[in-house]
Each structure stands twice: as structure tokens, then as C-alpha cells.
Structure 1
Amino acid sequence: MSEVQRTYPQNVDCNGVDVRLDMMSAGDEQDVLAFARSLPEKDLLFMRRDIRQAKVVAAWSELIEQGRLASLLAWSGDKVVGCTALIVDPLSWSPHVGELRVIVSRDMRGLGLGRVMIQEGFAMALSKGLEKLVAQMTIDQQSAIAVFEGLGFRGEALMRNHVKDADGGKHDIVLLSHDVARVQSQMEAYGLTDAF
């Protein structure tokens, strides 16, 4: 399989809003915390950890430095307005599977940034030679689910009452997946490996 490589930073136009994409580094921790803390709890329930906590973002940053996680930030001016993370566990039974997590600030939704972040995450998966991507979100995040499905992800599981919010309310999580290896093979067959 040929690899897809991206270079950052890069600028993208999100419906008239200039956004800079760049890989997350240790120096970005405070900006990521500010971004996470600006989001309602409900938007973060699909994540395995509460990224509004400094110790969680510090652990995230440490995993990036160790090369165990890739994370891309979207910036509007000096403010983080979106992020994506690709998590792979090479010591698990599923080293060929990556989990893609994407979150976009509320004021940037509907401008195409979510789609861009998912596509960039997909490119990261291709560059790592992954065969499958999974993503999860709460069932009420219908717009996000629609964007993922529009990019070829399909529903694989519904986990009822899987997460609890701070008030103890339970929420369902939907698991979506994408066959990255199949798409890569199709791209190669048509000579489109540089198109993505």
C-alpha cells in the first residue's frame, strides 16, 4: 500500500473562514484546554476521557510525543476551533484499527470544518497503513453522524446507556466504521493515490 502524506501547517477555506491546520504539540496544551472548556459537556461525552482536565490534556500531549497518537488542531486566528485525534494501540489485538475522534467548536459547525477534519484523519490513517477506522459519538449528534456517513462510515453498533454525564444521565453511543484498506486499494487501482 502506498502512503498518503500531508504537510502542515496548511490553510483551508471553511465557507469563507480561513482556518489553519497544524499538528498538536506540547506547547498547545493551554489552547486545547481553553477550546475543550468552551464546549458543553454534552459535546464531549463520546470521548473516553474528559479533555477539560489539565491532566488529561497533559497525558494526551505525552502520547503525541511518544508517537502513540496523532492529533491535528484547527486554528482560527490564535484560537483552537477544532481537533482530531487518531488513536492506535499497536500492542492490542487490533493494531490495524484506528479510532478517529473529531470535535469542532459550535460556532464553526456547518462550515465544512468537520468534514475537513475527518478527511485529514483519514489521510493520517492511510499514512500509518491502517486498515479500518472507527468513530463513536452520542446518538443525538445527528449532524456529526451524517458527516461521517457522507464520507463512507457505516453504523456498526449501538451501545445503550454507555456514558454518564455529570448529572448521572445515561447516553447511548453509536459506533461507526470505515474500511480504509478497501478505499486505499480502489484509489491505487484508479491511479488516484495522490487525490486524497
Structure 2
Amino acid sequence: MSVVPLGPEHCDALLRFFRDLPDGDRTFIKEEVTDPATVRAWTTGGNRWVAVDGDTVQGYVAVLRLPGWSDHVGEVRLVVAPAARGNGLGRVLARHALVAGVEAGLTKLVVEVVAEQGAALALFSAIGFSGEALLRDHIRDREGRLRDLMVLAHHVGETWSGMDTVGVADELGEPG
């Protein structure tokens, strides 16, 4: 399996990936990921990658720079196929996003996680993200239930020692 930049050649496989996700997983994705035009548009913007195994997409990650006065901040979006969860792929993709964000000059990365997603919270906490906000009853799932949303943040300058601890400094070629 390899992590590669999202390109036009991945559109059909990425659409299959998103269509095959359980409805509950798609509930918490901001974009209409089963729309071919949406996915095609992503191939021209950069800062999006897929984990591919042959012709199959097993994961997706993006680092989206926020606009205007928050242009030093990048939002991480990460999705792993249910069959590929629990084997470290999410961690590989999250670390990839962290490295890409630092290389892009971002000083803060954020990720939004539904409060009940314990594995995602643990994954991002392990690579230096910490809780920044709890938004109660902020999102509604497909059954109409309100859910809490957690915003986790990674302040690059403040947590470099944490990045060194998890090996990200080595990936960037920086001294620890």
C-alpha cells in the first residue's frame, strides 16, 4: 500500500471508496463525497492524498488551508475504509498530513472529530493534537440525533518536541 497525491486517475476508485462507506461514516463528512464533480474538482487543488492498494483506495487524507485571517491553519480530513481500520493506516495518513502541513508552512492544524469516535481521538492525540473545543449538539446524524463535535489542534511551534517524540522530525529531516 502506498500514499500518493490524489490525481484524476484515482477519481473512480475514490468514488467507489466513498460510496462503499457505511452511511453512518458518510454522515460526518462535510462534502458530498459521492458526487463525481466534487471528487474530480479535488484533483486540481493539491494537498489531498489517497492510500492505494493496487486499484483500490483504502484511505483518504487532506490538509485544507483555511482562508483569510486563518490562513496559517490547516484542517485535516481523514477517512479509512472499514476493512483497513485497526492496522495503522489511519496513523500513517495522519502523520502524512502533519508532515505536509508543516512543509506547507502551516503553524496550526485542526481536525474535527465526533466525540464518540474514540479511536480517532486516540490517533490524533498520539501525534500531538490536543482538545481545543467541545461543541455540544453541533452535528446531526442521519437518524436526527444530535452529536457533540470535538476540535483537536496541533500547534506546530509549541509541540515540536512532541513531534520529535513520534518521529515526525525525522521525516522532515529536522534535528530533534
TM-score by length of 2: 0.86
> What SS is found at the alignment partner of 1:87?
strand
| 1:52 corresponding residue in structure 2 | 34
Seen in structure 2, the aligned counterparts of structure 1 residues 54 and 167 have a Cα distance that, compared at 3 Å, is farther
Cα deviations by residue, 1:116-158 (Å, 9 ceiling, x for unpaired): 0010001110110100000012111111110111111101111
Match of 1:43 among 21, 25, 48: 25
Checking the alignment, whether the CA contact within 8 Å between 2:139 and 2:149 is kept in structure 1 is yes
Give how far 1:183 is off: 4.0
Identity over the aligned pairs, expressed in percent?
33
Give how far 1:79 is off: 0.4
Which whole-Å CA distance do the structure 1 matches of 2:155 and 2:57 have between them? 30
Checking the alignment, whether the CA contact within 8 Å between 1:97 and 1:132 is kept in structure 2 is yes
| 1:22 corresponding residue in structure 2 | 4
Seen in structure 2, the aligned counterparts of structure 1 residues 56 and 165 have a Cα distance that, compared at 3 Å, is farther
TM-score by length of 1: 0.78
Match of 2:78 among 102, 119, 139: 102
Cα deviations by residue, 1:65-112 (Å, 9 ceiling, x for unpaired): 1x4x411100122100001001013x4210100001111111111111
Which whole-Å CA distance do the structure 2 matches of 1:53 and 1:116 have between them? 27
Which is further off, 102-111 or 41-50? 41-50
Which whole-Å CA distance do the structure 2 matches of 1:95 and 1:146 have between them? 27
| 1:147 corresponding residue in structure 2 | 123
| 2:148 corresponding residue in structure 1 | 172
Which whole-Å CA distance do the structure 1 matches of 2:22 and 2:58 have between them? 14
Amino acid at match of 1:51: V
| 1:15 corresponding residue in structure 2 | none
Checking the alignment, whether the CA contact within 8 Å between 1:46 and 1:136 is kept in structure 2 is no
Which whole-Å CA distance do the structure 1 matches of 2:27 and 2:147 have between them? 8
| 2:137 corresponding residue in structure 1 | 161
Any stretches of 5+ residues in structure 1 without a counterpart? 1-18
| 1:134 corresponding residue in structure 2 | 110
| Backbone CA RMSD of aligned residues | 2.2
| 2:47 corresponding residue in structure 1 | 70
Name the one with the larger helix percent: 2
Checking the alignment, whether the CA contact within 8 Å between 1:161 and 1:172 is kept in structure 2 is yes
Seen in structure 2, the aligned counterparts of structure 1 residues 26 and 59 have a Cα distance that, compared at 3 Å, is same
Report 1 or 2 for greater relative contact order, CA contacts < 8 Å, sequence distance ≥ 6.
1
Which whole-Å CA distance do the structure 1 matches of 2:131 and 2:10 have between them? 33
